[in-house]
């Protein structure tokens, strides 16, 4: 479905006066408003190709209609999101869920929608039809060299697809680990994994990064071979300067202080990227900001502070991706909400007065420090984000326009009610 620009303009026109009033009110109390707006315009969040269809759990899946049936249709869906919010200008592909059979055509289609290719994701956690070796007992950690070789070759193949598409990073998430004590030798599992990763690392082009994603549990429930940020950091450090840690917000043990993890990884120049989502219990993959938006703000506060300390470019020096699953919501509406939540947290973090906070810290003024943080967090920054969207030619209220245009109804008409997108 195509959303013509004039429809966005018409929609914006009707609510423009109301927006201006709200924007001027917030802007009047923000010191560097133009600088913040530019940062918001520049910020882009990659949409995962596996999150455009309805997700499921191991107990079932309740499919919605009008889901994309091919990679082309997934790109069209992301193009639609990007048109509405001007900050979803990238796609993260999972191989082999989304194999670009004709890379030139796929690249051209993405360019047409203003979309670039963010990190490529490999998959050695499922067996594919016709595959020689099984990943039942792991992939890169496996006791059998044949399995390890197959996993290495797959990752190299993913890099090749990525090169064709213009991606510049590979995310490796391994389900490797064990379900029971004694099942594997943890030291040897680590060594095998490191050696396998080294072989993949050797194939990375010079301008590429490798993201090593950690996860504490699931599908293995006793040990995971890349189980936490310490282990990921160890692999990344041993691999070399092109290897980084990737933080998926749902991959920690309960109550982990993710903002502190982020601060230290940034300080050590080993933070590579993010998979944003939210959770109440574990890797719930819920809409970003739906459960704990304050934590998200605290993470962004560390990100902004740490990136500024190192003179990094907020928009391009780290990989920003969503990794969520949509069991009950329309995936496109859910993604619009997730992107909005990220932009809100980022904008609030930009409002934190770093100098004032430092002064409070140096004076051990704990109360003042909290006031500064919560002053930023409790500011309604939505008009700032809407203004950034307006300046980028997008909709003041993407979700409302999505509903007004009856996008889902139109997609169902175009693609049918019974569609199944590949992915989780
Ligand atoms: C694992 C994970 C990883 C996968 C994705 C589908 O839980 O977060 O990033 O690639 O889910
Ligand atoms: Mn993830
Ligand atoms: Mn996950």
Q: Are 106 and 72 in contact (CB under 8 A)?
A: yes
Test site for ligand 1: of 95, 172, 248, 322, most ligand atoms within 8 A of the Cβ: 248
- What is the predicted pLDDT for the residue at 405? 98
| Angle ∠(140,267,285) on CA atoms, nearest 5 | 55
pLDDT value for 63: 85
- Measured from the Cβ of residue 163, the count of other Cβ atoms closer than 10 Å reads 15
**Rounded Cα gap, residues 401 and 413, in angstroms:** 19
Contacts of 1 (CB under 8 A, 6+ apart): 76, 80, 407, 410, 411, 414
pLDDT attached to residue 337: 98
Answer whether 80's CB lies under 8 Å from 332's CB.
yes
Query: Candidates 288, 323, 325, 422: which one to mutate for ligand 1, based on the most atoms within 8 Å of Cβ?
Result: 323
CA angle 297, 298, 302 (to 5 degrees): 115
Cα 324 from Cα 347, distance rounded (Å): 22
Compute the distance between CA of residue 375 and CA of residue 358 in angstroms, rounded to an integer: 15
Q: Ligand 1 center to residue 283 CA distance, Å?
A: 9
| Residue 130 backbone dihedrals phi, psi, to 5 degrees | 80, 5
What is the C-alpha separation between 85 and 44, in angstroms, rounded? 10
This prediction has a pTM of: 0.97
Residue whose C-alpha is closest to residue 137's, from 171, 173, 179, 96: 179
Residue ID of nearest Cα to ligand 1 atom 6: 424
- Which residue carries 């882009």 as its tokens? 44
* Cβ-proximal residues to 120 (8 Å cutoff; 6+ apart), any chain: 92, 93, 95, 158, 159, 161, 162, 165, 167, 169, 170, 171
- Between helix 258-267 and helix 229-239 the angle, nearest 10°, is 10
Atom of ligand 1 nearest to the CA of 121: 10
Question: Ligand 1 pocket by C-beta < 6 Å: which residues?
Answer: 50, 121, 173, 213, 215, 248, 275, 283, 323, 424
d(CA 195, CA 140) in angstroms, rounded, equals: 8
Domains and CATH numbers, the chain: 38-353 (3.20.20.150)
Strand partners, 60: 57
Nearest to 349 by CA among 301, 277, 418, 397: 301
- Amino acid 417: pLDDT: 86
For the chain, percent helix, then strand, then coil, each to nearest 5?
A: 50, 10, 40
| Residue 409, token pair as written in the block | 């109804």
Tell me which H or E stretch contains 245. Answer: strand 243-248
Q: What is the pLDDT of residue 111?
A: 98
Task: Tell me how far apart the alpha carbons of residues 95 and 423 are, in angstroms, rounded to a whole number.
Answer: 10
Per-residue pLDDT in tens (0 to 9) along the chain, 424 residues: 889 999 999 999 999 999 999 999 999 999 999 999 999 999 999 999 999 999 888 889 888 899 999 999 999 999 999 999 999 999 999 999 999 999 999 999 999 999 999 999 999 999 999 999 999 999 999 999 999 999 999 999 999 999 999 999 999 999 999 999 999 999 999 999 999 999 999 999 999 999 999 999 999 999 999 999 999 999 999 999 999 999 999 999 999 999 999 999 999 999 999 999 999 999 999 999 999 999 999 999 999 999 999 999 999 999 999 999 999 999 999 999 999 999 999 999 999 999 999 999 999 999 999 999 999 999 999 999 999 999 999 999 999 999 999 999 999 999 998 777 666 6
**How much is the pLDDT for 198?**
99
Both tokens assigned to 325: 């699953």
Nearest to 224 by CA among 253, 198, 274, 186: 186
How far does Cα 377 stand from its chain's mean position? 22
Question: How much distance in Å is there from the Cα of 275 to the middle of ligand 1?
Answer: 9
Q: Which helix (H) or strand (E) holds 406?
A: none
Q: Whose CA is nearest to atom 5 of ligand 1?
A: 323
Q: Which pLDDT score is estimated for 14?
A: 98
Question: How far is 49 from 288, CA to CA, in rounded Å?
Answer: 17
Q: For residue 225, what are the contacts with CB-CB under 8 A and spacing of at least 6? A: 138, 140, 141, 174, 176, 177, 186, 189, 190, 193, 231
What does 272-296 look like in DSSP terms, one character per residue? EEEEE-B-SSSS--BPTTSS-HHHH
Task: Please check whether residue 216 is in contact with residue 242, taking contact to mean a CB–CB distance below 8 angstroms.
Answer: no
What stretch of H or E contains 94? Answer: strand 90-94
């Amino acid at each position: 479905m195509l959303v013509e620009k004039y429809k966005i303009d018409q929609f914006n026109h009707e609510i423009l006066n109301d927006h201006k009033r709200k924007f001027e009110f917030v802007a009047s109390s923000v010191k560097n408003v133009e600088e913040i707006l530019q940062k918001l315009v520049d910020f882009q969040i990659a949409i995962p190709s596996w999150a455009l269809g309805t997700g499921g759990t191991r107990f079932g899946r309740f499919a919605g209609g009008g889901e994309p049936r091919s990679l082309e249709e997934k790109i069209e869906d992301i193009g639609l999101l990007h048109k509405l919010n001007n900050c979803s200008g990238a796609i993260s592909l999972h191989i082999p869920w989304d194999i670009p059979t004709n890379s030139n055509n796929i690249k051209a289609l993405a360019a047409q929608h203003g979309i670039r290719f963010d990190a490529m994701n490999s998959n050695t956690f499922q067996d594919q039809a016709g595959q020689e070796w099984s990943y039942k007992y792991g992939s890169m950690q496996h006791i059998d060299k044949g399995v390890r070789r197959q996993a290495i070759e797959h990752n190299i193949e993913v890099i090749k697809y990525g090169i064709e598409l213009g991606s510049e990073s590979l995310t490796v998430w391994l389900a490797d680990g064990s379900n029971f004590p004694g099942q594997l030798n943890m030291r040897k599992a680590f060594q095998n994994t490191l050696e396998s990763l080294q072989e993949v690392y050797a194939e990375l082009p010079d301008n590429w990064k490798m993201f090593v994603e950690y996860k504490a549990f699931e599908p293995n429930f006793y040990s995971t071979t890349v189980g936490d940020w310490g282990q990921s950091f160890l692999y990344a450090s041993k691999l070399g300067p092109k290897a980084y840690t990737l933080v998926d917000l749902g991959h920690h043990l309960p109550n982990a202080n993710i903002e502190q993890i982020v601060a230290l990884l940034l300080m050590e120049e080993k933070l590579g990227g993010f998979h944003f989502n939210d959770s109440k219990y574990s890797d719930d993959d819920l809409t970003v900001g739906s459960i704990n938006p304050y934590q998200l703000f605290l993470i962004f506060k560390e990100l902004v502070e740490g990136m500024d300390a190192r003179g990094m470019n907020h928009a391009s020096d780290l990989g920003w991706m969503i990794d969520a699953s949509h069991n009950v919501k329309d995936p496109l509406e859910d993604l619009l909400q997730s992107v909005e939540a990220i932009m809100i947290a980022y904008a609030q973090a930009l409002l934190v007065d770093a100098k004032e906070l430092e002064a409070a810290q140096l004076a051990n003024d704990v109360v003042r420090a909290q006031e500064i943080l919560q002053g930023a967090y409790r500011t309604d920054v939505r008009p700032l984000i809407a203004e950034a969207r307006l300046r980028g030619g997008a909709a003041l209220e993407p979700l409302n326009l999505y509903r007004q245009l009856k996008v889902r109804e139109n997609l169902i008409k175009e693609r049918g009610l019974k569609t199944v997108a590949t992915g989780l």
